[in-house]
């Protein structure tokens, strides 16, 4: 019973932590550390929630979760308490749903990217002035990347006429950061969770917070190579131009509802969190992530 109570408490702490983190603004001063913390909260919540049900169901065997599941698999014909059977089925069902939704969301995203790459092969062209970038002949403003093993950065003809050379360099550096750091993989679990729990405000806010943080992380990477004010003006130009929506599975430079927050952060940057604070966040995230699997492995 101790393991079940510990896992239930851990899941509650993760849920409360996520709720508090959605309103936090210190995350803007250390987006990469905050992204890691978000990932830790998500993984730990999933394992702790399912683990609490399984630990309660398997508690009579005194073997923990992993060994208890193996033991029950060999003794399933023996009579068992109805409440614990219900908890076992609930825990396995929750684990299966979370896993299946993640796989389904990943497959859907991969399919959308594959279709979009085929479309780009038909309508996009190379531009000598921006080597390595695909250009779509459309008057609307667009700049996005299609992540993956065969990643592509795409801009529209409207973007070429809208932005100055320095602004375009800043936008392309932003998209290159998305590709290099695989921000699409960071966002995927939160998109999957929003898919399975669309009515939950905390899940919606968590997805929005992580989406904003990966944009800020890409901004930080881009401003190492260019003027942050040029990136800010490019974002403002996108906001006032006739931009079209970023395709499903891609990451755009000006997507999201908090573009002005990014602009203000670029124009009036606050000091980054001290290194020891960022280290503490990263270390705490690693410890938190390891806690649930350890509780799964520990014998009862």
CB contact set of 103 (below 8 Å; sequence gap of 6+): none
**DSSP class of 52:** H
pTM score of the predicted model:
0.89
**Quick count: other Cβ atoms within 10 Å of Cβ 188?**
16
Q: Could you read off the pLDDT of 237-271 as tens digits, one per residue?
A: 887 776 667 777 777 776 656 888 999 999 998 98
Kindly tell me if the per-residue pLDDT of 79 is higher than 60: no
CB 235 within 8 A of CB 104: no
What's the rounded mean pLDDT across residues 156-168?
A: 91
What's the rounded mean pLDDT across residues 115-144?
A: 90
Token pair of 141 as six digits: 């403003």
What's the rounded mean pLDDT across residues 85-108?
A: 91
**DSSP class of 75:** S
What's the rounded mean pLDDT across residues 106-112?
A: 89
Q: pLDDT category, 75, cuts 50, 70, 90?
A: low
State the pLDDT at residue 246: 78
CA-based Rg of the chain, rounded to a whole angstrom?
23
Q: pLDDT category, 74, cuts 50, 70, 90?
A: low
């Amino acid at each position: 019973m101790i393991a079940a109570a510990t896992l239930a408490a851990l899941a509650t702490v993760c849920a409360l932590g996520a709720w508090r983190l959605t309103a936090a603004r210190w995350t803007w001063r250390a987006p990469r550390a905050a992204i890691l913390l978000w990932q830790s909260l998500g993984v730990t919540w999933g394992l702790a929630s399912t683990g609490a049900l399984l630990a309660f169901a398997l508690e009579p065997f005194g073997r923990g979760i992993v060994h208890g599941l193996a033991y029950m698999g060999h003794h399933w014909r023996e009579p068992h308490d109805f409440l614990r059977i219900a908890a076992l089925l609930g825990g396995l069902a929750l684990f299966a749903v979370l896993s299946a939704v993640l796989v389904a969301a990943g497959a859907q995203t991969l399919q959308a990217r594959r279709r979009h790459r085929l479309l780009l092969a038909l309508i996009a062209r190379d531009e000598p002035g921006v080597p390595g970038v695909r250009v779509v002949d459309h008057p609307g403003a667009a700049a996005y990347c299609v992540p993956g093993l065969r990643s592509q950065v795409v801009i529209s003809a409207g973007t070429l006429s809208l932005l100055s050379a320095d602004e375009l360099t800043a936008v392309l550096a932003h998209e290159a950061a998305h590709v290099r750091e695989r921000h699409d993989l960071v966002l995927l679990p939160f998109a999957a969770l929003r898919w399975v729990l669309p009515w939950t405000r905390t899940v919606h806010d968590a997805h929005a917070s992580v989406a904003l943080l990966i944009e800020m992380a890409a901004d930080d990477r881009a401003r190492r190579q260019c003027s942050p004010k040029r990136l800010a003006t490019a974002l403002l130009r996108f906001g006032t131009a006739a931009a079209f929506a970023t395709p499903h599975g891609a990451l755009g430079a000006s997507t999201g509802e908090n573009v002005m927050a990014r602009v203000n952060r670029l124009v009036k940057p606050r000091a980054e969190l001290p290194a020891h604070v960022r280290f503490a966040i990263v270390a705490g995230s690693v410890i938190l992530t390891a806690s649930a699997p350890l509780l799964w492995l520990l014998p009862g």
